[in-house]
Amino acid sequence: MITEKKLERMFEHYIARRKYNQESSSGSQDSLWSAGECGEAEQWLRCFGVDLSYETIQPMIEGKAPIQMKRVSGPCAKGNFDDLLVFVPSGPSRHNMIVISEGTGDNLLPEDEKEGWVDYINYTYYETETFSEEDGGMYMTSELVQEKYSCLAECIPEILDEIYGDATLDYVVLSDLSGFPGYY
């Protein structure tokens, strides 16, 4: 499973290998191996929406900028509040598929607003064998979702804590909901 931490380590390793390739003589067995590692890493990093443009990574390779992964697309890109499908492989139950979506704002009750809630995130979890809807809820927030988070994926630990009582569970964000049964 590729978690966010593993993806960041992959990016750091990718930058280190790119730096090695630029500093070493080309044609050696080591540099060819390193180039192959970089090609493989680029495929994975692009799948996760990581910016691999020359303008972004070259300053990191040269040591002129800190090594910091930046997403330009995908479910974790800044400003992306599209619905998410999340798989929790180590979830403590059989309800390991979660659909998370930003609330529309029309489900807050007057008593919710009196308690200081201003926005919410909807979540529904599914039984993984039959993909049948099991349960769901609303994660209430005291500030607007788009002001609290830079993208919807940032709320996943809170949703995991809400459902499973453990915000540290590993998860994988599957961004394409089009093939998920019962999702419209």
Range of the domain at 96: 84-174
Number of domains in the chain: 2
CA distances from 19 to 15, 25, 39, 43, 153 (A): 6, 12, 14, 18, 31
Q: Are 52 and 127 in a shared domain?
A: no
Amino acid code (one letter) for 166: D
Given a cut of 70, whether residue 166 has pLDDT beyond it is yes
Q: Are 123 and 91 in a shared domain?
A: yes
What digits encode the pLDDT tens for the residues 29-86?
888 888 888 888 887 787 677 889 999 999 999 999 999 988 776 667 778 888 888 8
CA distances from 62 to 7, 17, 52, 97 (A): 21, 12, 15, 42
| Residue 88 included in any domain | yes
The model's pTM: 0.62
pLDDT for the residue 55: 92
User: On the CB side of 123, how many CA atoms lie within 13 Å of its CA?
Assistant: 26
Nearest of 180, 56, 65, 92 to residue 130 by alpha carbon: 180
Q: Are 118 and 36 in a shared domain?
A: no
